[in-house]
Structure 1
Amino acid sequence: MSTQKTLVLTRPEQNANQLVTQIKESLGRDVPVVRSPIMKISPTGFWPDLTGVDLVIATSAHAIHGPLDGKPVFCVGVRTADAATLAGGDVRHCALDAASLLVWMETQPDPGTVIYLRGSHVATDIPAALTKLNIAARAAWTYRQDDLPLTDAARKLLEGTRPAILPLYSPRSARLVGQALAKIGESLHVIAISDAVADVWRTETGGSCDVVAEPTGAAMADRIIATLRH
């Protein structure tokens, strides 16, 4: 049996391409990759009127496809912060994940009226959490996450005997991939971005997985590269 590891990427195409480029630059060589986006990301075509909004929250770069008009922005993730800056936002805070953002906001003064730019599926209901803190918040649905089927090539690798690496970046992707598999391959190495993602994977498949030390794209890339080296 071949010991060469194949990377199975279920992220949207743009995210997958960025990761592959980063891995190639780090390793100095190409790696076998099978792409099978498990969700299609697309704008809803709606962009909210930010008049009267004191703070914008975004937890994904996909949520930002309109002008932020200099509004203060709290973000999750560096890429989201970069997208907010490019859209004219004034990024005031960048958290590792939604949970840590909410914990931090508990220690801050009332930010005023908040709008949360979100997708059709979210792991954390930020407006509901902020309402419990007596912060006025509402959500604007700015992008869609539509399910896509796992490709035959990806399924064959994930269920088979060849060594494969599967990075998982969200509870939803873990659920969709897990539900698409009849069994777990004997040489499958799963890497989860958080305990929440790992819990969903274990629930859906009964399989094991590694969890990176902090929920960031950089930590995931480092772990993937280290796994490919060994």
Structure 2
Amino acid sequence: MDAILIMTRPAPAGTDFADTVTVAYGHTLTVIQSPALRIEPLPYAMPDTRNVVFTSARAVEQAPPGDGLTAWCVGRATAEAAEARGYATYSADGDAESLVALVLSRRPHSPLVHIAGRHRRGAVAARLTEAGLRCTTVEAYDQVPLPVPEELQLAAAGSIPLVAPVFSPRSAQGLLGLSFTAPLHVVAISPAVATLFRPMKPATLLTVGHPDADHMRDMTVAVLRGLAGTGE
């Protein structure tokens, strides 16, 4: 029997990612959608700006339309989401470190606004401000924890291998509190995520070489194929 794919990424991104994995894998997978968080929009006043910083596509969803504003984006998927909403984009194609370096390399003259969640990493606005640029943070959404569904609890107590692509330390929380008898295979988007799982001693703990959805998909599919005995 194939392994079960566990998605703790919030909806709808978790569902969309599972669909891309299924297509790349080549046949139907059993998927347990167990989002660790619910995205809850927060009211905010948008400052006057020509430059917006995005560290996730989720933030783009909560932002006003671009109408020609410039968006400084952490990666390609975020940039594509911003372009779809009318922003002119720059993509760092990496992580928060790469994004800060990109903005500092071009040093826009007008103030920047980082539209982000209440819980965030990387201190992007603070680092840009320390480097001499004007950047403020607007909290546009909250990430509200969700209970672990019974389906995942039963799978964790079973014997079928579980493959969990984990996209953030916050979404990792949907797995860290569980006890597993089933073999757990974790694909982490960053070393920070991988570090959280080391005490659990999962059967597999891999970190992608580049923190984006394409690399997460490819490594997840490789793990699934390896477990099925069809690794290429």
**Could you state the TM-score of these two structures normalised by the residue count of structure 1?**
0.88
Distance 1:110 1:28 in 2: 45
Kept after mapping to 1: 8 A contact 2:6/2:164? yes
Secondary structure in 2 aligned to 1:209?
strand
Distance 1:20 1:186 in 2: 20
2:66 — aligned with what?
A: 68
Letter paired with 1:215: P
Kept after mapping to 1: 8 A contact 2:10/2:37? yes
> How far did 1:111 drift?
4.1
Q: Runs of 5+ in structure 1 lacking a partner?
A: none
User: Per-residue displacement from partner, 1:130-163 (whole Å, max 9, x unpaired)?
Assistant: 1210111101111121011111221232354321
Percent same amino acid at aligned positions? Answer: 29
Distance 1:79 1:93 in 2: 9
Correspondences of 1:104-123 after superposition (within 5 Å): 104-123=102-121
> How far did 1:107 drift?
3.0
Aligned partner (choices 6, 10, 13) of residue 12 of structure 1 = 10
Distance 1:13 1:104 in 2: 29
- State the Cα RMSD in Å: 1.9
> How far did 1:83 drift?
1.8
Letter paired with 1:89: Y
Aligned partner (choices 190, 193, 211) of residue 194 of structure 1 = 190
1:154 — aligned with what?
A: 152
Distance 2:16 2:189 in 1: 17
Kept after mapping to 2: 8 A contact 1:69/1:88? yes
Secondary structure in 2 aligned to 1:123?
coil
Distance 1:195 1:85 in 2: 29
Kept after mapping to 2: 8 A contact 1:54/1:111? no
1:87 — aligned with what?
A: 85
**Could you state the TM-score of these two structures normalised by the residue count of structure 2?**
0.88
Distance 1:56 1:173 in 2: 25
Letter paired with 2:189: I
> Is 1:57 aligned with 2:37?
no
19-28 or 219-228: which moved more?
19-28
> Is 1:229 aligned with 2:219?
no
1:146–1:131 CA distance, 2 compared to 1 (3 A): same
> How far did 1:56 drift?
0.6
Kept after mapping to 2: 8 A contact 1:59/1:118? yes
Distance 1:70 1:14 in 2: 26
> How far did 1:165 drift?
0.5
32-41 or 62-71: which moved more?
62-71
Aligned partner (choices 19, 22, 30) of residue 21 of structure 1 = 19
1:134–1:164 CA distance, 2 compared to 1 (3 A): same
Letter paired with 1:187: P
167-176 or 130-139: which moved more?
167-176
1:97–1:138 CA distance, 2 compared to 1 (3 A): same
Q: Runs of 5+ in structure 2 lacking a partner?
A: 227-232
Distance 1:206 1:103 in 2: 35
Kept after mapping to 1: 8 A contact 2:36/2:170? no
Letter paired with 2:145: D
Secondary structure in 2 aligned to 1:29?
coil
> Is 1:174 aligned with 2:172?
yes
